[in-house]
Every structure is written in structure tokens, then in C-alpha cells.
């Protein structure tokens, strides 16, 4: 049963026309079609600089001729000579591979991107120092009509394209692509100036709006970053810029509210410490219930983060912000910023919606998600600061009210309520101060770190200090002027506290219920007594016992919940506070 | 800006370049100073593939509409070149290409809905095929000129707004005798009045053949139809471009003296007929006035 080899050659005839449909049909939507031609234009400027050493006028002009249903893209890049134009008609054979570290356009299908989008492609080009102009015309419509025929691909394409030349000027260099007779309705967006402008603004490498307050800060920060390079891209003569939400809002004549804080720069590293990206971010400065940055989509404003490779955005805003991997992912809406990938191993996939799989893509993805987590959890710090400052304001307002009331001779039950309000405010401020004063350990969660950072701001500390003094002063005043009412108010406050404590969180420690109530409880595992805060004797022993119990409790919680879990983090954050509330000063 | 300007001079002629770059440019500059100081203007016209007018006057132009017929292969190619040259020269902002017949675009209400930037301060009609270009309408007993009717429509559309009109005409016009007949009628009317030099004036103009006839006819025709505008003519210019041509430049400020509009009186007609005629030989020689007799009033006034 010996096998004998049969002579056979693999030729173009073995590739059927329907393969072309698989390549182009539905690969790109209207905006992505435009992006592909823009990508080519950008690449041509890179090539121009490489070839000539000169920095050309880097302008890409898009002209949407909705009367005729045509879209034009023109650049003054390097252009093409005869060899280039012959290669240009190739499918997925990119001479861009020859460029070192230039992966833009890699695996793109070049001028074929518009195969589904229009009836005809006309590309006119001339290369620097070449006194000849070339024109390539491809009948996309005719190709589509036959793409599902059972014929070899070369039969499909023959006769459906032509290349022409004429004399030109060697000083000229440009490429002008025309997508003729855009297909509607599927690709009608290509003829919509506002839609295309919005897309270009968000996804393509354009500069920040020069009218935006922080543009010069960001440009200064990114000046040395080639991955953040921008181009002058115009649609029907109007330059397109990146749009971000306004920094200020006018609230009254001559007064304005700051909505966005100044930008901060970041370096994103993977677990080994290798730099994978650079980023900038602006945090919300909103202090109300809703802190998320408001964007006007009609104006093309964006929030959250864009992940960019060679300054072309990959995917949508918030790319890679998987809530399963990014803590507080929702809070990314409190920020606006950009992440510029600097790891040269990372490339976009064919339609630029995700990273192409590579041996580095997982590490870089994880690094970005870690960055997101740090950013998002730091938003809790802002939240804590706002909450404290709101409390300070409320306390001051209550104190003002008390002083007015005393001056007017008002008595209880107003006094009772005010006393309770002041106590509640005092308690919250003490908690905040305690958080700020807590010692830093290497194991603090990101949230705790963030809260502490914001609460340690000098302005916040001062505000707390002043407010606490105010509370003390006003409560003293109340005691002097209305002692009976104050006594009643204090008693009522304390009974509320006991009720609150009885409802407080309890924990099971080796099956024994530990109640934070007053009184002594036996803890089976330690055999120690938990003493009430009022008992001053053996306070050191008490403290050691409580610390032991707390450590045992945390060990059990870690075993059950997992040390990396959010619940465990929540417990470690709140346990000291809860103990303090009960007078267990450990 | 690209090198297109120097490149396409080879396709234009020196004479046309001179008229465009010096003669007309001065008129535009003056018009801007008088009517739209420190503003840039809007342009409507037959730019041709190389958009030479727009490129030459770009300093003064904010918005422009190019009209190009595109029902033939050559027309479509020309339309493509217009867009290419607009992009190549960064002139695509506030630019519109209307594909169609200029006579329909300026002369009919349906056509007038296409250009975006009415009213236009510069209207440039480079009529390669001639002005009158009459055709036979089987329903009428006289030749019809769509082009002349379009000019009527243009002035009507621009009523109340100042603009400058450039009209460049091919001297070889299939006018079916229209112009000659109208000029003859005019001569007859004027000859019956107490004027001097009518016969000599018209005879000398006729000796210039179509150039002389158009030189009389065009200002009179515009004077009749532009009842909402004053007309300030620069001297018409004869030159040889790709063909023998005559070029008219007229500033058209709104007429405000009477609500009913301006009427063309005899004195106005005489002034129009007596316009000097320049001939452009070449760039170095410049323009020279053609010696033509003038019509005068009995007391020697023209």
C-alpha cells in the first residue's frame, strides 16, 4: 500500500472569490472604513519623514460631498510611485511591515477597507521626486456583485481595476482617495459630517481643543511622547479636535464653579515594574450627590478613559474596565483621561476594537486594569473629603442656628434636636480625623489609602479642627444657658447610642457571639473578658485582649471570605472605627 | 499651498492670467473696500478644473461655489479635478460643488436652491460657448437665449445686495443674428434722437465684428435687466486666451433711489455705448484703448 506523490501546485486559482467577501464584508462599519483610510494617510507622513528627513505639513483633509455621495481623503504624505501603486492593490500584503516598530496598519487591508462601502475607489497619488501621477481605480461594486460566484479570486478581480499614469511635478507629493457613490443606508454615516467629526474627535489622533482649559497642561506633559502624536485632521475644512467636558461652570454673575481638577500624569506599569503606558487624568470636582462628570455627547465630549495605540483609540471609552477585574469601575466616570500604550508588543486587532493576542497582551491588560482600580478607588477619597466638608458645613450651620435660638430664647424640644445633630456631626468628624490619623501599613486597601490621602489634606484637617471647636463651644453655651434641657438631650442621645450599638455588626468568633454592648462577655476561644469602656481598671489587659480577639476575628474572616475579597477589605476598614465607637481604643 | 498655481499657468494663457491677477483683482479689492470692508467675500462661478480664479483671489474669498456640468465623462472629470484642487490647496472649507448647468443654477428658482451661500459678492461667468448662444424653441417665433434669461434670474436673486459680475465671452457665438439685430434696433432708436456721431460710432463698432457688437449689446442688456442695481462698468477688454474673448467687469451696488427700480434712460445708454474698449496684447505691453467714435449730445456732451 505505498503512497505515491501527486504533483500539485498551489495557485491563485485555488482561492475562491468568496474569500474576499469574508475579508471585507462587515469587517468595518462606516466610521472604521474612514479610520482605515486615515490610518494610511498617517502612515504616509511617517514614511515621508523617514525617507526625506523632513517634517511635512501633517494635514489630512476629508471632504464629504453629500451631493454626489462621495467621500474624499487627501494627505500630503510621501505618496506612491509605480511600484507602490502596483502593491497598493494587494490585499493584506502590507509593505508597512518593512518599517521597524511600525505596527500601525499592520494586518489592515489597506485600500480594500471600503470594499463594502462604495461603488468605486479612485486613488490618485504622486510620490516626492517622481514626476508622474498615478491613478488606481477599483470597481468595488462590480466585485461585490460577483464575490459569491464560484470563481477563482483572480477571475473576479481581473478587469475590475485599472492603473493609469500621467506626467506630474516632482515637487508634488500626495495621495487622494475617493470613495465614490457611498452605499446607503449601511454606510450613510460616511456622508454625515457631524457623525464623522464626532468619530474622528474621539478615535483618531487629533489635538485637544485649544479652547479647553487644560489643553496646554496636557500638551506639555505629552510633548516628549511619540505615542501621543497628533495630526491636523479636517472635515470639509474644519479642523477636528478632541473634546472634553468644561472645567468651569458659571453659577452667578462673576462666579464660577470648578467642575474638573487639574490633570495628573501617571505611569502605568505591569507587575514586574515595566512601563507599559503613560496616562493623564482629570478628576471630578463635583461635590453634590452626583459626582460623575457630565458630558454633552452632542458636542462630542467624552469622559472615562480612552486606551490608545499610536494615538488611535482601541475600542470604546473605558476599554478593559471589566467590573469583575476593576474595583469601583463605575467610578471611572468621575474621571476623564487618556492612556497611551508604550509597550511596543501591543497591537490592535484587525478592526481596532481590542488588543491583538500576544504574549504581552495579558500583562498589559492586567496593568491597565490595575491602573483603573487605583484611579477608581481613589475616588473614594474625594467622596470622603466631600462628605467631611459637608458635615463641617452642617455643623457650622447648626451652631449658627443654636446661637440664634438662644438669643431668641427658644428652648426644647429644639435644643434636644440640635444637641443630637451636633453630637452626630462631632462623631462623624472624629471618625474622619481618626481615619486621617491612622498609621499607614503596607497592607492597607486602595480605598483606605485613598480616603486617608484626601482626609489628610491641610484644608480638610483645619476644617475639622475648627468645626470641632465650634461644636464644643456651642455645646458649652447650651449647657450654661439651658442645663435641664441639655441633660434631657444628652440622656436621649445616649439611649439612642445604646440602641444603635445593639444593632451594630456582630461577629462569630469560634461560635461565640460577641456583642459590642456594655457589660462583660465571655469569649470561649480566649477565655478573656471583654470589658466595657467605662471600666478603667486593667485597661492594658483589656486592650491586649481586645487586640487578640480582633486579630482572631480577622483571621477567621480572611479564611472564610478570602484576604483579597472586597468584603474582607470592608471589614478591615471598618473594624477600628466600630471599636472606637464603642470606646474600645485599640 | 501646493504648486498648482505655477503648474496650471501653462494651461491658462498669459493674457487671462493678467486679467485675472491684475485687472479683476484690483476691481475685487476696490469692491471689498467700498462694500465689505474687512470681510471676505463669497464667490459663485465657473471656476474650471484648475480653479484659477479662486486660487488667485483666495485672499478675498471666504466661501465659494463652483458650478460644473457633469453629465458627460469630461464634465465628471472636471468636477473631480475641482474637488482635488480644492483639497490640494486647502480651499475646501466653505466650498461647494454644484453639478449642473450654470444657467439653471443662477436663472431658475429650482436651480437657485442649490448654491448655499447666497447672496454672492463675486459672480464669475466664463461663458466658453458665448453669451447669447440662442436656440430655437419650436413654440416661439424667435430664438431663445437661456443664458440671457439666466442673467435676468441672477440679478433678480441678488436684488438688494452688492456684487461684482465678471463676464467672459467667446467672440464666436452662435447668436443666430440676435445680437446684430438688437444692436441695429438700438442704432435706429438713437439715430432718431438729436445726437451726434451715432452712425459713425455704430459703424466703427461693427467693424470689430462680434467684439464690437457684444461691446454695445452686453452693457445695454445688463442695464435693462438690472433694475435693482446700479451698474459701474470697467472698460471691456479684448484679449486672446485659448480663443478670442471679451471680458466685462461690472460692479453692481444696490439701486436705492426709487422703489420701483432703475430705468435705463437715453443718457445712460449713451454712456454705456461710449465705454472705452481695451485690448490686451501681452503682459509687457499691457492694455491699449481702441480708438472708437463716441456719441455726443448736440452741445458736445457725451
Task: Read off the pLDDT of each residue in A244-266 and give the average, rounded to a whole number.
Answer: 94
Q: Report the residue count for chain A.
A: 586
Residues in A closer than 8 angstroms to B98, CB to CB, are: 67
- Which of B87, B93, B97 is closest, CB to CB, to A176? B87
Indicate whether A493 pLDDT > 60: yes
Q: Round to whole Å and give the CA distance between A53 and A512.
A: 78
Query: Is it true that the peptide bond before B193 is cis, omega within 30 degrees of 0?
Result: no
Per the model's pLDDT, the better-predicted residue between B51 and B287 turns out to be B51
Rounded to the nearest angstrom, the minimum Cα separation between A202 and chain B is 22
Q: What's the grid cell of residue B146?
A: 437661456
pLDDT at residue A413, rounded to an integer = 58
ipTM surpasses cut 0.90: no
Residues in B closer than 8 angstroms to A236, CB to CB, are: 92-93, 95
Give strand pairing partners of A301. A243
Residues in B closer than 8 angstroms to A65, CB to CB, are: 83, 97
Q: Round to whole Å and give the CA distance between A283 and A247.
A: 10
Contact B97 A178 (CB under 8 A): no
Q: Round to whole Å and give the CA distance between A422 and A248.
A: 34
Residues A156 and A149 sit within 8 Å (Cβ to Cβ): yes
Per the model's pLDDT, the better-predicted residue between A493 and A133 turns out to be A133
pLDDT at residue B9, rounded to an integer = 37
Residues contacting B61, CB < 8 A, separation 6+: B40, B41, B42, B43, B54, B122
Which of A271, A277, A266, A265 has the alpha carbon at shortest distance from A346?
A277
Phi, psi of A166 (to 5 degrees): -150, 170
Rounded to the nearest angstrom, the minimum Cα separation between A177 and chain B is 10
Q: Angle of helix A458-481 relative to helix A414-437, nearest 10 degrees?
A: 150
Weakest-pLDDT range from A225-234, A304-313, A437-446: A437-446
Chain B residues with CB under 8 Å of a chain A CB are 2-3, 7, 79-80, 83-84, 86-88, 90-99
Contact B83 A65 (CB under 8 A): yes
Residues in A closer than 8 angstroms to B86, CB to CB, are: 63
Indicate whether B254 pLDDT > 90: yes
Residues in B closer than 8 angstroms to A237, CB to CB, are: 90-95
Probe site for chain A from B87, B96, B98 (most A CB atoms < 10 A):
B87
Number of H helices, E strands in chain B: 12, 12
Task: Read off the pLDDT of each residue in A148-174 and give the average, rounded to a whole number.
Answer: 90
pLDDT at residue A54, rounded to an integer = 83
Q: Report the residue count for chain B.
A: 302
Q: Round to whole Å and give the CA distance between A75 and A82.
A: 18
Q: What's the grid cell of residue B259?
A: 422703489
Residues B274 and B195 sit within 8 Å (Cβ to Cβ): no
Per the model's pLDDT, the better-predicted residue between A510 and A566 turns out to be A566
Q: A177: how many CB neighbours lie within 10 A of its CB?
A: 22
pLDDT at residue B154, rounded to an integer = 95
Weakest-pLDDT range from A12-16, A55-59, A436-440, A445-449: A12-16
- Which of A74, A76, A238 is closest, CB to CB, to B93? A238
One-letter-per-residue 3-state SS of A383-439: HHHHHHHHHHHHHHHHHHHHHHHHHHCCCCCHHHHHHHHHHHHHHHHHHHHHHHHCC
Residues in A closer than 8 angstroms to B105, CB to CB, are: none
Which of A20, A414, A291, A178 has the alpha carbon at shortest distance from B87?
A178
pLDDT at residue A562, rounded to an integer = 82
Indicate whether B106 pLDDT > 50: yes
Q: Find the closest chain A residue to B1 by CA distance.
A: A57
pLDDT (tens digit per residue) in B262-285: 888 899 999 999 999 999 977 677
Which helix (DSSP H) or strand (DSSP E) does residue B286 occupy? strand B286-289
Rounded to the nearest angstrom, the minimum Cα separation between A20 and chain B is 29
Q: A275: how many CB neighbours lie within 10 A of its CB?
A: 12
Indicate whether A183 pLDDT > 70: yes
Residues B102 and B125 sit within 8 Å (Cβ to Cβ): yes
Indicate whether B83 pLDDT > 90: yes
Residues A434 and A396 sit within 8 Å (Cβ to Cβ): no
pLDDT at residue A539, rounded to an integer = 62
Q: Find the closest chain A residue to B96 by CA distance.
A: A65
Residues in A closer than 8 angstroms to B94, CB to CB, are: 237
A365-380 as b/e: b if 16+ CB within 10 A: bebbbbbbbbbbbbbb
Per the model's pLDDT, the better-predicted residue between A102 and A177 turns out to be A177
One-letter-per-residue 3-state SS of A217-246: HHHHHHCCCHHHCCCEEEECCEECCEECCC
The mean of the pLDDT values for chain A is 84
Q: Between the CA atoms of A541, A544, A549 and A554, what dihedral angle is there, to the nearest 10 degrees?
A: 170
Which of A241, A223, A224 has the alpha carbon at shortest distance from A232?
A241
- Which of B2, B92, B99 is closest, CB to CB, to A236? B92
Contact A61 B2 (CB under 8 A): no
The pLDDT confidence band at residue A168, using thresholds 50, 70 and 90, is very high
Eight-class DSSP state of A93: -
pLDDT (tens digit per residue) in A536-577: 445 667 777 788 888 888 888 888 888 778 788 888 888 887
Residue A120 near chain B (CB below 8 Å): no
Per the model's pLDDT, the better-predicted residue between A153 and B35 turns out to be B35
- Which of B3, B84, B95 is closest, CB to CB, to A176? B84
pTM: 0.79
Indicate whether A501 pLDDT > 60: no
Which helix (DSSP H) or strand (DSSP E) does residue A56 occupy? none
Residues in A closer than 8 angstroms to B96, CB to CB, are: 67
Amino acid at each position: 500500500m505505498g503512497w505515491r506523490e501527486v504533483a500539485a501546485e498551489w495557485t491563485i486559482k485555488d482561492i475562491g472569490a468568496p474569500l474576499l467577501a469574508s475579508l471585507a464584508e462587515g469587517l468595518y462599519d462606516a466610521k472604521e472604513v474612514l479610520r482605515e483610510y486615515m490610518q494610511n494617510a498617517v502612515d504616509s507622513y511617517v514614511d515621508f519623514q523617514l525617507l526625506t528627513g523632513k517634517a511635512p505639513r501633517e494635514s489630512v483633509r476629508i471632504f464629504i460631498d453629500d451631493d454626489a455621495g462621495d467621500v474624499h481623503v487627501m494627505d500630503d504624505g510621501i505618496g506612491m510611485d509605480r511600484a507602490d501603486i502596483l502593491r497598493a492593490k494587494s490585499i493584506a500584503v502590507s509593505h508597512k511591515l518593512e518599517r521597524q516598530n511600525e505596527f500601525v496598519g499592520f494586518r489592515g487591508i489597506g485600500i480594500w477597507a471600503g470594499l463594502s462601502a462604495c461603488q468605486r475607489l479612485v486613488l490618485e497619488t504622486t510620490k516626492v521626486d517622481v514626476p508622474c501621477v498615478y491613478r488606481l481605480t477599483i470597481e468595488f461594486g462590480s466585485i461585490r456583485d460577483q464575490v459569491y460566484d464560484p470563481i477563482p479570486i483572480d477571475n473576479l478581480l481581473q478587469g475590475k481595476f485599472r492603473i493609469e499614469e500621467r506626467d506630474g511635478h516632482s515637487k508634488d507629493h500626495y495621495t487622494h482617495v475617493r470613495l465614490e457613490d457611498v452605499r446607503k443606508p449601511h454606510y450613510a454615516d460616511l456622508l454625515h459630517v457631524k457623525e464623522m467629526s464626532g468619530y474622528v474627535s474621539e478615535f483618531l489622533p487629533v489635538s485637544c481643543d485649544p479652547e479647553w482649559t487644560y489643553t496646554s497642561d496636557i500638551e506639555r506633559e505629552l510633548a516628549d511622547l511619540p505615542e501621543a502624536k497628533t495630526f491636523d485632521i479636517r472635515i470639509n475644512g474644519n479642523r477636528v479636535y478632541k473634546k472634553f467636558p468644561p472645567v468651569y461652570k458659571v453659577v452667578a454673575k462673576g462666579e464660577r464653579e470648578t467642575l474638573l481638577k487639574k490633570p495628573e500624569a501617571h505611569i502605568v506599569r505591569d507587575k514586574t515594574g515595566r512601563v507599559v503606558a503613560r496616562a493623564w487624568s482629570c478628576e471630578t470636582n463635583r461635590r453634590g450627590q452626583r459626582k460623575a462628570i457630565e458630558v454633552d455627547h452632542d458636542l462630542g465630549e467624552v469622559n472615562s478613559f480612552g486606551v490608545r495605540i499610536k494615538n488611535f483609540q482601541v475600542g470604546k471609552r473605558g476599554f478593559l474596565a471589566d467590573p469583575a477585574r476593576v474595583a469601583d469601575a463605575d467610578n471611572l466616570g468621575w474621571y476623564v483621561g487618556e492612556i497611551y500604550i508604550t509597550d511596543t508588543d501591543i497591537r490592535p486587532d484587525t478592526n481596532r476594537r481590542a488588543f491583538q493576542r500576544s504574549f504581552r497582551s495579558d500583562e498589559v491588560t492586567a496593568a491597565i486594569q490595575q491602573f483603573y482600580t487605583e484611579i477608581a478607588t481613589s475616588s473614594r477619597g474625594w467622596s470622603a473629603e466631600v462628605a467631611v466638608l459637608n458635615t463641617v458645613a452642617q455643623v457650622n450651620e447648626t451652631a449658627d442656628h443654636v446661637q440664634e435660638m438662644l438669643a431668641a430664647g427658644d428652648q426644647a424640644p429644639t435644643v434636644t434636636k440640635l444637641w443630637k445633630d451636633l453630637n452626630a456631626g462631632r462623631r462623624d468628624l472624629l471618625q474622619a480625623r481618626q481615619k486621617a490619623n491612622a498609621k499607614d501599613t503596607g497592607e492597607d486597601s486602595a480605598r483606605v489609602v485613598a480616603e486617608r490621602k484626601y482626609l489628610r489634606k491641610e484644608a480638610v484637617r483645619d476644617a475639622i479642627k475648627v468645626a470641632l471647636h465650634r461644636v464644643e463651644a456651642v455645646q458649652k453655651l447650651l449647657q450654661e444657658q439651658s442645663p435641664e434641657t441639655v441633660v434631657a438631650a444628652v440622656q436621649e442621645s445616649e439611649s439612642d447610642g445604646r440602641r444603635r450599638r445593639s444593632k451594630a455588626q456582630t461577629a462569630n468568633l469560634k461560635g461565640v457571639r460577641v456583642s459590642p454592648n456594655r457589660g462583660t462577655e465571655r469569649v470561649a476561644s480566649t477565655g478573656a473578658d471583654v470589658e466595657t469602656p467605662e471600666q478603667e481598671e486593667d485597661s492594658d489587659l483589656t486592650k491586649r485582649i481586645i487586640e487578640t480577639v480582633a486579630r482572631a476575628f480577622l483571621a477567621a474572616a480572611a479564611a472564610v471570605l478570602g484576604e483579597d475579597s472586597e468584603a474582607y477589605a470592608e471589614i478591615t476598614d471598618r473594624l477600628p472605627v466600630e471599636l472606637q465607637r464603642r470606646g474600645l481604643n485599640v | 499651498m501646493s504648486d498648482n498655481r505655477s503648474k496650471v499657468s501653462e494651461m491658462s494663457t498669459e493674457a487671462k492670467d493678467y486679467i485675472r491677477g491684475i485687472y479683476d483683482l484690483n476691481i475685487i479689492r476696490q469692491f471689498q473696500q467700498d462694500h465689505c470692508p474687512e470681510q471676505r467675500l463669497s464667490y459663485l462661478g465657473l471656476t474650471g478644473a484648475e480653479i484659477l480664479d479662486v486660487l488667485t483671489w483666495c485672499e478675498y474669498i471666504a466661501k465659494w461655489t463652483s458650478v460644473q456640468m457633469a453629465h458627460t465623462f469630461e464634465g465628471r472629470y472636471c468636477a473631480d479635478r475641482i474637488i482635488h484642487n480644492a483639497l490640494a490647496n486647502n480651499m475646501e472649507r466653505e466650498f461647494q460643488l454644484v453639478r449642473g448647468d450654470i444657467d439653471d443654477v443662477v436663472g431658475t428658482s429650482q436651480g437657485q436652491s442649490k448654491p448655499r451661500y447666497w447672496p454672492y459678492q463675486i459672480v464669475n461667468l466664463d461663458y466658453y460657448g458665448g453669451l447669447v448662444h440662442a436656440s430655437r424653441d419650436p413654440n416661439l417665433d424667435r430664438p431663445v437665449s437661456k443664458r440671457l434669461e439666466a442673467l435676468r434670474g441672477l440679478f433678480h436673486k441678488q436684488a438688494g445686495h452688492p456684487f461684482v459680475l465678471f463676464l467672459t465671452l467667446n467672440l464666436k457665438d452662435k447668436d443666430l443674428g440676435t445680437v446684430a439685430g438688437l444692436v441695429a434696433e438700438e442704432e435706429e432708436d438713437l439715430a432718431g434722437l438729436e445726437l451726434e456721431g451715432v452712425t459713425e460710432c455704430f459703424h466703427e463698432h461693427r467693424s470689430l465684428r462680434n467684439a464690437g457688437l457684444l461691446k454695445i449689446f452686453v452693457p445695454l442688456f445688463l442695464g435693462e435687466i438690472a433694475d435693482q442695481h446700479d451698474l459701474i462698468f470697467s472698460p471691456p477688454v479684448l484679449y486672446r486666451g485659448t480663443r478670442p474673448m471679451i471680458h466685462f467687469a461690472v460692479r453692481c451696488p444696490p439701486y436705492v433711489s426709487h422703489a420701483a427700480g432703475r430705468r435705463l434712460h437715453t443718457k445712460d445708454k449713451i454712456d454705456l455705448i461710449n465705454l472705452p474698449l481695451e485690448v490686451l496684447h501681452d503682459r509687457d505691453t499691457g492694455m491699449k484703448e481702441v480708438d472708437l467714435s463716441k456719441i455726443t449730445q448736440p452741445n458736445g456732451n457725451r
